[in-house]
Structure 1
Amino acid sequence: MKFAVNLVAESSARLGSLSEFARIPEAVFETPLLLLHTRGASVPHLSYDLLQMVSSGHHHMLQMPLVTLVDHTKNVKAFGKGIAEFAGLKEYLNYVSVQDSGTTTPEGYHEKNSISLWTRGGRKLVDPQTYISCIEALKPDMFQAIADGDTTQRSTDKRVRKSVDVTVKFAGVCADLKDKSDILKDTPMLASITGGYNIKERLRCIKELKGLGFAGYVIEGFHTNGESATNLLWEDVEPVLMEILSSLPENLPRAFHGPITPIMLLKLVSKGIDIFDATFPWLVAERGGALVFPNSLPKGNAPVTETLPSVKAPAVIATDEKEGKPVPEKSNDEVVDRVYEINLKDKIYFNDTRPLLEGCSCYSCRKYSRSYVHHLAATGELQGPILLMMHNLYHYIAFFRSIQHAIRENELQALQSKLDLFVCSRRN
């Protein structure tokens, strides 16, 4: 694999390309790159034909989390041709990540010599040797080294140090096993940068990983996947991220996994992150939402006038004696911010004959109305998430094309301002 930085904007946003993959040498991917999220080697809710319709025949790379494939590696190995042909997606390049960044990873279950993968069959402990054996069976075009990224802003210094120690140890073992493997020796492997929100530990991790011959880096440890990624605050992430990026080689790609919000994504792009995944549009489709945020600059979209869905207030269980104010009940549930979407389960769409998004040319918007999709969502029909996923993924792919164009034309700040204005107008 070859990575080239073709342009660096004033904001530090990078326009680059990934090319020279062994299995499909002619494939070239422009960065910032969107990885199409899969579960069990299939884009959720989309058949092969529907995926072709959404992707419009362009080259795309699939993100295949090992946690959704580990139970099937024996069958893939017996098949002998790798996960791409096994899944009937041989024209798509694939990248195997460790965890499913769209689904929350339970905290506190990694061990000294292995990590926990939470599969449909329960918890599985995977050490570096087992991990590389699974990767050999899958024969991906690119993969992530096993790591301990189980940290958040709440993590103690001891937990953060342990995550770095384990990650560095696992990375060394993976690099050694990869070099000895006839199947993987030429397959690019990305190292994971862990260390939570501790800058000192982040820099130690980078220092320990340099020189091991990695093809790029994945910045882990800011969240535990799933909804926790949508609640990241830029003021918390930025100081740590800037120290990380200033210490990484400029000639290698940098990836950031998780269903981060579009505004957070644009901020990460502006600082030089190159690779993201499509877990956000999937997460929105899963809860019955359709993306409506402005995804381009030239023509944009018609203004969205719907108010945000109401959020149930936490139950009041006591009154603060000093302040005289009610104290809400504590909850472990993540707060879901739906500012970028409309909720098709809402009854207000019962008689709404408009498309999901005015001006959108996806199949769902051209053929169906909000009222019909509302009916599907309200009754639990299987076609509901299919139509929502088609729209959301189409919308998000177009968003990335707009980001690439904005970097090229030095208009990334204008795109961010348009998105900020949209978010403020919906909240107000």
Structure 2
Amino acid sequence: MAGFTYRRLACDGRARTGVITTPRGEIRTPAFMPVGTAATVKAMHPEQVRATGADILLGNTYHLMLRPGAERIARLGGLHRFMGWDRPILTDSGGFQVMSLAGLRKLTEEGVTFKSHIDGARQMLSPERSMEIQRLLGSDIVMAFDECTPFPADEGVAAQSMRLSMRWAQRSRDAFGDRPGHALFGIQQGSVFPDQRAESAEALRAIGFDGYAVGGLAVGEGQAAMLGVLDYAPGMLPEDKPRYLMGVGKPDDILGAVERGIDMMDCVLPTRSGRTGQAFTRRGAVNLRNARHADDPRPLDDGCGCPACRGYSRAYLHHLTRAGEILGLMLLTAHNLQYYQDLMGGIRAAITDGALAPFAAATREGWATGDIERL
């Protein structure tokens, strides 16, 4: 079986473009991964997601272990067959979701015990169990189990959390074992403290991973603080491995992260926003629920080739959204995913051409211009 490899093709400043090779296909980087939390990208067929240009999806260990269960998915042939997606899948470790259950969990050195949000049943996640679940799912890229440090956290609490995550990283590495064709990523922690980020990166490098994530961001610290950490954190990680920023984000967050050396990102924002009537365009975000669109025969974004923009008017999309019709959220979800993948394609081309700075400036100028004038 072919292995997991990463190859840089070009750099522009700290930004990189390259290719991750897996047995299930190549992933062009920088890459945005649509989120398929419960074995589905909401409101999308797998082939539609692929048609937008997505090379890889993200699945969620926490949600899938609770429903329908990792053992059941394994009996049914693994997550790829279960959800009808034959390309790479990255699964997160469950750490972030467990963090959000603060009132329902108990954290120890061994792992985390918690009550299911579905039926209240007692559950346990540890580095070993997280590795087992992700093996049962058959994911191509497995994330080490960590504690996602909440924000804000004082320096002492953050350090304690980071060091626990580093001990769990070693246990994750040990439990993962030798799995040719599958990759394990370590997760850097340390909140907004440079010395803790450096200590975490050193520990991860000593253990050795196939890729490295910058964790503990996009948890409420704001864009300025996030970019401040990204000014130095990616450079602490190996240059010859992929760098993944978890849970990001808005288009401007993505562009800023790429400029600082990030190769992979994921976020529920494009799909969640599509289900609430918000669309991302070259001229910024557009709220299709607003009355200004009710009589507008123009397309949502005349530079977009998605079904929503090719075949329907703003007036129709406004009607679907206000009426709560399922087609509306399907079309806007498809549009947003297409916009994100088009943005990534533009970023990759700009890095290849050594033209990321003018591309970024023009893109941000377009967002700042605002929506087209109302009729």
TM-score (norm. length: structure 2): 0.89
Contact 1:67 1:119 in 2 (8 A): no
SS in 2 for 1:210: helix
Measured after TM superposition, the shift of residue 262 of structure 1 is 1.6
Q: Does 1:2 align with 2:8?
A: no
Measured after TM superposition, the shift of residue 404 of structure 1 is 0.4
SS in 2 for 1:356: coil
Q: How does 1:84-103 map to 2 (within 5 A)?
A: 84-89=80-85, 91-99=86-94
Quote the residue 1:342 is aligned against: 286
Q: How does 1:155-174 map to 2 (within 5 A)?
A: 155-174=153-172
Measured after TM superposition, the shift of residue 50 of structure 1 is 3.3
Once the two structures are superposed, residues 231-263 of structure 1 have per-residue CA deviations (whole angstroms, 9 ceiling, x without a partner) of: 7223x2344323322321110110012242222
Measured after TM superposition, the shift of residue 419 of structure 1 is 2.8
Measured after TM superposition, the shift of residue 222 of structure 1 is 1.8
The code of the aligned residue for 1:18 comes to I
Q: Within 1, Cα distance between the matches of 2:270 and 2:161?
A: 29
Measured after TM superposition, the shift of residue 185 of structure 1 is 5.8
Change (3 A) 1:379 1:59: closer
Equivalent in 287, 294, 297 of residue 353 of structure 1: 297
After TM superposition, where is structure 1 displaced by more than 6 Å over at least 4 residues in a row? 100-104
Q: How does 1:382-393 map to 2 (within 5 A)?
A: 382-393=326-337
Change (3 A) 1:103 1:33: farther
Equivalent in 13, 20, 25 of residue 15 of structure 2: 13
Change (3 A) 1:51 1:266: closer
Q: Does 1:233 align with 2:229?
A: no
Once the two structures are superposed, residues 3-54 of structure 1 have per-residue CA deviations (whole angstroms, 9 ceiling, x without a partner) of: 1112121x211111111x23x3xx22221112122121111101245335x3
Structure 1 unaligned regions, length at least 5: 295-303, 305-339
Structure 2 unaligned regions, length at least 5: none
Change (3 A) 1:118 1:289: farther
Change (3 A) 1:103 1:412: farther
Contact 1:28 1:59 in 2 (8 A): no
Quote the residue 2:133 is aligned against: 134
Q: Within 2, Cα distance between the matches of 1:345 and 1:118?
A: 35
Q: Within 1, Cα distance between the matches of 2:153 and 2:341?
A: 34
The code of the aligned residue for 1:187 comes to H
- Structure number with greater Rg is 1
CA-based RMSD: 2.5
Q: How does 1:201-220 map to 2 (within 5 A)?
A: 201-220=196-215
Change (3 A) 1:102 1:274: farther
Q: Within 1, Cα distance between the matches of 2:89 and 2:253?
A: 25
Contact 1:68 1:100 in 2 (8 A): no
Change (3 A) 1:392 1:248: same
Q: Does 1:37 align with 2:40?
A: no
The code of the aligned residue for 1:290 comes to A
Equivalent in 74, 79, 98 of residue 77 of structure 1: 74
Once the two structures are superposed, residues 168-227 of structure 1 have per-residue CA deviations (whole angstroms, 9 ceiling, x without a partner) of: 111111111112x6xx46521000001100111111111122232210111011233xxx
Q: How does 1:195-206 map to 2 (within 5 A)?
A: 195-206=190-201
The code of the aligned residue for 2:147 comes to D
Quote the residue 1:401 is aligned against: 345
Q: Does 1:375 align with 2:324?
A: no
Quote the residue 1:321 is aligned against: none
Measured after TM superposition, the shift of residue 402 of structure 1 is 0.3
Q: Within 1, Cα distance between the matches of 2:29 and 2:180?
A: 25
Once the two structures are superposed, residues 273-326 of structure 1 have per-residue CA deviations (whole angstroms, 9 ceiling, x without a partner) of: 10112533113213211111x2xxxxxxxxx5xxxxxxxxxxxxxxxxxxxxxx
Contact 2:10 2:352 in 1 (8 A): yes
Quote the residue 2:186 is aligned against: 191
Change (3 A) 1:354 1:121: farther
Equivalent in 264, 269, 272 of residue 253 of structure 2: 264
Contact 2:17 2:28 in 1 (8 A): yes
Higher fraction of helix: 2
Deviates most, 351-360 or 395-404: 351-360
Q: Does 1:283 align with 2:272?
A: yes
Q: Within 1, Cα distance between the matches of 2:26 and 2:161?
A: 34
Measured after TM superposition, the shift of residue 416 of structure 1 is 1.7
Measured after TM superposition, the shift of residue 423 of structure 1 is 3.8
Change (3 A) 1:102 1:135: closer
Identity of aligned residues (%): 22
The code of the aligned residue for 1:348 comes to R
Contact 1:37 1:64 in 2 (8 A): yes
The code of the aligned residue for 2:107 comes to E
Q: Within 2, Cα distance between the matches of 1:173 and 1:100?
A: 14
Q: Within 2, Cα distance between the matches of 1:29 and 1:137?
A: 22
Measured after TM superposition, the shift of residue 134 of structure 1 is 0.7
Q: Within 2, Cα distance between the matches of 1:77 and 1:284?
A: 32
The code of the aligned residue for 1:31 comes to T
Contact 2:28 2:55 in 1 (8 A): no
Contact 1:290 1:343 in 2 (8 A): yes
The code of the aligned residue for 2:270 comes to P
TM-score (norm. length: structure 1): 0.78
SS in 2 for 1:196: coil
Measured after TM superposition, the shift of residue 110 of structure 1 is 6.1
